[in-house]
A and B are shown apart, each in its own frame.
Chain A
């Protein structure tokens, strides 16, 4: 078993456990590579990867780019500010023109849910979703799971709480699907106005009371709260959000002993999480960033169809 069941990674909903385990296991190898003095392997030599970013991104874009470079792939970057999108070119035309220059894999970040699926209908390359609208962000969830497994040696049976803007968070959605498939018990917590309709049907516990949500949890994954949500009236003020849903030292008492604090970044320090907690000894926030590269290398490698030792 060394192949994924799909040639694309569009999301984690309905991805079988064997695939998730294969990605996480393969990531271990690449995690080792990035600790070496020479952080580069020839695995994807001759393969060209397009990084298609229709939305601003710093860490995901850099993480993918570094992952590609460390696999010896050739990379080409596209972002809206420098593209022909401003000239009114359609997504299909844009990608087909770039693909005509012979691209093998595409990493896409887009503000429309389903845009990565749309690309599978426009191009022959492998498609990796780097975040689509409020839908999914599978590599973020995979790196979160990798980080959890790194610390506990397992995911099965752990209690993971995802906190914040559940309605608009693609990170939360992908985490829910992945964690459930891997056997974790999942809860979400946030203001009622930031809960999606029928959120119970995700198959996780739902809380609007943070203390109850934290009770007996092992992992707390805190999401960034965006200022624009307040501007559109979804919660009254950052102050009140912080008072009701902010993670601080006091609140950690309810967690299980060997607890872990996570955050996909970027952090609003003092809003959804205090600096004391974000930088504390139980925080794995920077490990997440490092692990992200390993996970992305694994995904790129597995989807490329290259087998071990084969570099053409």
Chain B
């Protein structure tokens, strides 16, 4: 006799809700795609007797957390469906434990109008994750003329960004902030002064000096961040700095936050785990990304910011590129690496296990914090919320293998890496979208 009161029960796992700080062993009951009840260990033994075997997910020894949220991914559709589609990107997201992703507008055509937003939303209709669209700040992301931001918001764009490019003109950036402020959406900025990084293929450091490669100086990020903080201060709008990579930028954001400036920021796993010292070893084009992998010193500054809360969230900057385009000379390769399927393992292995953050901190930075930045509905695991739930096997040891990657692109430098911690199962609105 199956339970009629509930559809599904996740039993015996350690349930973490970062908002309530709930972190005990508990059973989670799901009904009609929502979390209907969370009861402490043992208290629902009787109730569970009515459940069919296939209605129970045994999560003993696992973490049961709100579905993870990645606010920085590139889904490449429309335009480069050979590299990724909304559907394939969401399959990768589900395997990585993500139930919500925010896609950047640098597609072809650029997502700078209602039609393209709707197209992406339509493609996401039956996908394995929720897709929130970030619209372009400027038309074709060319940095000269504002997009019809009101229009974009009207059909559901959650933020604006010209990601991949820095909005160099301060007048237009000021207007973008003012204008976005009307809709209470943040302006997401790829903060690197474009004059200072012109032609660069890696971080400017002793490593770029050795290798004779043009370097993007860390000061390009510092200047861009400082300028935008100043504009954020005068406009009172919300600014989100994407993928911070330098100590100086983190320091500037920390100071601004203390002052009450409405700035938030994210960091990628690859900037936390890799440094520019890797590049000269094999000239692996998967290591080419923007902003570039930095020095150890900058990496330590970023880790400090992650620990003290200056850095609000972790985002993958999942950037698929075809094998054909990456199999070339280092400086000719397009920048970016995929990340949806390795983020959790990298963070567990290199951030949690090295003592920088606890699981609770990490879950906060991968659920409720990003949700708050973009006013997204998810990120909580409480009675009544949509049952977007990730079950994590925190001690699972695994090796990153190319054949296991669900993304259509395989451009990651982490192939062969041994990691600990991985999504075991992912539920979207109470429906299983991934099970290992």
Contact = CB atoms under 8 A, between A and B. Distances in A.
Interface of A: 13, 90-92, 110, 112-115, 117-118, 121, 132-136, 167-168, 170, 173, 196-199, 201-202
Interface in B398-412: none
B329 A115 contact: yes
B212 interface: yes
B212 A133 contact: yes
Interface centre among A92, A134, A168, A197 (most CB of B within 10 A): A197
B327 interface: yes
B189 interface: no
Contacts of B330: 112-114, 118
B332 A112 contact: yes
A26 B204 CA distance: 39
Contacts of B208: 196-197
Given A197-B204, A197-B217, A198-B206, A92 B211 contact: no
A117 B209 CA distance: 17
A201 B206 contact: yes
Contacts of B215: 197
A92 B209 contact: no
A113 B204 contact: no
B283 interface: yes
A92 B328 contact: yes
13 contacts: A90-B328, A92-B327, A113-B211, A113-B212, A114-B280, A114-B331, A115-B329, A133-B212, A133-B213, A133-B331, A196-B212, A197-B204, A197-B209
Given A134-B213, A168-B212, A197-B217, A112 B204 contact: no
Interface centre among B280, B328, B329, B332 (most CB of A within 10 A): B329
Interface in B213-245: 213, 215, 217
Interface in B182-226: 204-206, 208-213, 215, 217
A117 B206 contact: no
B324 interface: yes
B331 A198 contact: no
A121 B209 CA distance: 24
Nearest to B201: A113
Given A114-B283, A117-B282, A117-B283, A196 B209 contact: yes
Nearest to A13: B210
A135 B327 CA distance: 20
B251 to A, nearest CB: 20
Interface centre among B283, B324, B328, B330 (most CB of A within 10 A): B283
Closest 9 CB pairs of A and B: A134-B212, A196-B209, A114-B283, A112-B329, A135-B212, A198-B206, A201-B206, A114-B330, A113-B212
A281 B332 CA distance: 45
A90 B324 contact: yes
Contacts of A198: 205-206, 209
Contacts of A134: 212-213
B212 A91 contact: no
Q: Chain B interface: which size bin?
A: 20 to 34
A110 to B, nearest CB: 7
A105 B368 CA distance: 58
A118 B288 CA distance: 15
A135 B211 CA distance: 5
Contacts of B217: 197
Contacts of A199: 209
A115 B327 CA distance: 11
Contact of A91 (B206, B209, B213, B328): B328
A106 to B, nearest CB: 15
Contacts of B212: 113, 132-136, 168, 170, 173, 196
Given A112-B332, A114-B283, A201 B209 contact: yes
A113 B327 contact: no
A110 B329 contact: yes
Nearest to B333: A112
Contact of A197 (B205, B282, B328): B205
A113 B205 contact: no
A304 to B, nearest CB: 25
Interface string B329-350: 1111000000000000000000
A91 B329 contact: yes
A118 B209 contact: no
Contacts of A117: 282-283
Nearest to A166: B209
B288 to A, nearest CB: 11
B91 to A, nearest CB: 29
A308 B204 CA distance: 46
Contacts of A170: 212
A173 B209 CA distance: 9
Interface centre among B204, B206, B212, B213 (most CB of A within 10 A): B212
Interface centre among A114, A117, A202 (most CB of B within 10 A): A114
Given A90-B328, A132-B212, A196-B208, 5 more contacts: A134-B213, A136-B212, A168-B212, A173-B212, A202-B209
A90 B332 CA distance: 11
A180 to B, nearest CB: 13
Interface centre among A115, A121, A135, A196 (most CB of B within 10 A): A196
Contacts of B206: 197-198, 201
B285 to A, nearest CB: 9
A91 B212 CA distance: 20
